[in-house]
Amino acid sequence: MNGKVWLSAYPQGVPAQADVHRYRSLTAMMKAGCERYADHAAFTNLGASLSYAELDRQSRCFAAYLQKGLKLDKGELLAIMLPNILQYPVVFFGALRAGLVVVNVNPLYTPRELKQQLADSGARTIVVLENFAHKLAGLIGLTPLTYVITTGLGDPLPAPRRLLVNFAVKHIKRMVPPWAIDGAVGLREALDEGEHCPFDEPDLGPEDLALLQYTGGTTGMPKAAMLTHGNMVANVMQVVAWTGPALREGVETVVTPLPLYHIFSLTANLLTFLCIGGRGLLVTDPRDIPGLIALLKKERVTAMTGVNTLFNALLEAPGFAGVDFGSLKVVVGGGDSIQESVARRWKRVTGTAIIEGYGLTEASPVVCANRFDVPEYTGMLGLPLPSTEVSIRDDRGNEVPIGQVGEICVKGPQVMKGYWNRPEETAKALRPDGWLYTGDEGHMCADGFIKFHDRTTDIIVVSGFKVFPSEVEDVARMHPGVKEAAATSVGDERSGQAVRLVIVKRDPELTREQVMAHCRENLAGYKVPKVVEFRDKLPKGPIGKVVRRELH
């Protein structure tokens, strides 16, 4: 080892080791926060707030319903297909309190993608916003899915506003496509039933699974990282230790535009700020930039997380410069690299620098972060968090000298248990000595700061979300007019990267519009190619494999 040279660059007050064993489980951490900050607002959405005391009560009711109403056993899987609404933390913590394992699902998934994830995970139960319930209707019987629990956008609101919002969403805005699922139960009904059920607190420890969090890992198609309660608690405590000098307990308000089903937002926003008694402003539709700006003008926001795409969209939007940023202390960027031009403009407009971090789902996710006292954009991934080791290694697994480029490898209590039902993939990424090989290239500076260089895989990152070329190619080849397909990235001012699809036609009459329409039917929006090109042939290697790097 080059030694933990990064420790000498730590801010004053940040310890070398975090208290990663402070709580035995996420539920223990949640209950401690709810008890300490009972009268404080925990989350706000659509003009309504959920207190810590109510979060404790409602999550307990949901846990009791899962145990006694559905008779789910400890260790079973529950999928959550919700945007950022008040129901998410209730369902998330209720599932964990019942001893279940949470499987986060992107509500934007097409039925094909949803079927793939449900079949792979084996989840028998799902909680879904009724706006997306129609996607499930054809999957009953094709997946292990047995129980469906639905909720409406207005459900947490007091009457009569609840009825008005749900009516408007369904019948005026027509945001709920028709659906019919036999035996589906409403979340409000489940909570009412659970309130009258006994609840048996399961014995949960650090080694129990908390999440199956889907990711591309270091290679290949989406697979689930097995994240334990110990992994997640450790990463929260590491982040709390790192942000300690910048954030105070019981007073912070964090705006959460990034979806909670994404591990970055889940850990950095929901769990970290719950641990310190903060209030989370849940943004249901982050694409509604005027609505987000109105929220920033209305609330006294002290912290925010985002991706480059979001920061750039806000800067370009009318009215953003008129927001009062006097209370804003911490802005964290992740998911993908922050562009220097965006970071510098953000600082000029808001007076607060974007602090970049680095992580990956397999590490729960945070590995590195920049100091919160940096005055400007650094272009660095930052320093390894407390209780985290980073090593830069060559292709033989040997550590390289300071300043030399190699693969970024990580070791710490936040590193996953492995990939769900994929021992070979686990062995590739996670070594017996505990080191996680990230598939990212970088170098370590003399002061311990990590500089990112490039990805060793072909994964495309669109607004912080990973897109796997092989999946896009598989979908393209499903079209009868496509003979061959190869996907790669193309630069995009808004999303950092976008998908570029190169096709060899089978049908000479095939058009770009037909390809795009086919992709939209089978892929979430961020995976749909922005650029479609036609060629006579694709570049291939000696064994006939397409060489994607030669497509540029």
Indicate whether 166 pLDDT > 90.
Answer: yes
More confident position, 337 or 325: 325
> Considering only CA atoms, which of 212, 239, 278, 259 is closest in space to residue 420?
212
Instruction: Give me 263's structure tokens.
Output: 């591990």
Indicate whether 50 pLDDT > 90.
Answer: yes
Residue 272, CA atoms < 13 Å, CB-side half-sphere: 32
Question: Can you name the CATH fold of 460-551?
Answer: GMP Synthetase; Chain A, domain 3 (3.30.300)
In the block, residue with structure tokens 């007091």: 158
1-9+228-457 and 26-204 agree in CATH topology: yes
pTM, full prediction: 0.88
> What pLDDT band is residue 543 in, cutting at 50, 70 and 90?
very low
Indicate whether 541 pLDDT > 90.
Answer: no
Q: Across residues 114-139, what is the average pLDDT?
A: 95
Q: Across residues 221-241, what is the average pLDDT?
A: 95
CA dihedral 268, 270, 275, 276 (to 10 degrees): 80
- Comparing 163-167, 310-314, 465-469, the range with the smallest average pLDDT is 465-469
In the block, residue with structure tokens 């209305």: 298
For the stretch 65-101, pLDDT in tens is 999 999 999 999 999 999 999 999 999 999 999 999 9
Q: Across residues 262-269, what is the average pLDDT?
A: 95
> What pLDDT band is residue 540 in, cutting at 50, 70 and 90?
confident
Long-range (24+ apart) CB contacts under 8 A made by 158-163 are 158/48
DSSP structure class, residue 29:
H
SS3 144: coil
- Beta strand ranges found along 360-468 (DSSP E): 366-369, 383-384, 389-393, 406-411, 418-419, 436-444, 450-455, 460-462, 465-467
Give domain limits for the chain. Answer: 1-9+228-457, 26-204, 460-551
Query: For all residues of the chain together, what is the average pLDDT?
Result: 93
1-9+228-457 belongs to CATH 3.40.50.12780 = yes
> What pLDDT band is residue 544 in, cutting at 50, 70 and 90?
very low
The whole-angstrom separation of Cα 265 and Cα 54 is: 22
Indicate whether 108 pLDDT > 50.
Answer: yes
The predicted structure's pLDDT at residue 221: 64
More confident position, 216 or 111: 111
Indicate whether 219 pLDDT > 60.
Answer: no
The whole-angstrom separation of Cα 335 and Cα 360 is: 8
Q: Identify the CATH number of the domain defined by range 26-204.
A: 3.40.50.980
The whole-angstrom separation of Cα 18 and Cα 504 is: 53
Q: Across residues 230-242, what is the average pLDDT?
A: 98
The whole-angstrom separation of Cα 522 and Cα 519 is: 5
Indicate whether 454 pLDDT > 80.
Answer: no
> What pLDDT band is residue 163 in, cutting at 50, 70 and 90?
very high
More confident position, 373 or 202: 202
Indicate whether 1 pLDDT > 60.
Answer: no
Indicate whether 216 pLDDT > 60.
Answer: no
Element (H, E) at 427: helix 423-429
Indicate whether 546 pLDDT > 80.
Answer: no
